[in-house]
Amino acid sequence: MVAHFPHLVPDYDLLRTLLIQESHDNPTSGHFGVDKTMKTLQRNYYWPNMADDVRKYVSSCTPCQIMKSSHQRAATLLQLLDLPKRPWEKSIPL
């Protein structure tokens, strides 16, 4: 078995951003969150504070933010329920 060591990525912002972009925006990656993007990157690359860079990139990803907000239900006012007056009474008209 051969040991696999990740490549140390130099302190060059453009290169790091391109690597994150390739791991996160790739159609086969599907805009996964920070954890899955990190796992994908860590298979082949390493740089100090990689998690911070990935977190910053994912939080600025417009498609991710749109999808994230669309999954949250809008807050509405509470509504009173029409409860049955006695056991086995249907409160929903048929």
Model confidence pLDDT, tens digit, residues 21-30: 999 998 887 7
d(CA 38, CA 24): 9
Which pair of structure tokens corresponds to residue 63? 């498609």
Model confidence pLDDT, tens digit, residues 30-45: 788 899 999 999 999 9
Give this prediction's pTM: 0.67
Residue with structure tokens 């006695």? 86
pLDDT of residue 93: 58
Instruction: List C-alpha distances in Å: 81 to 25, 77, 78, 92.
Output: 45, 13, 9, 10
> What is the set of domains in the chain, with CATH numbers?
7-67 (1.10.340.70)
Residue spans of the chain under pLDDT 70? 1, 69-74, 91-94
pLDDT of residue 92: 60
E strand segments, 1-94: 7-8, 45-46
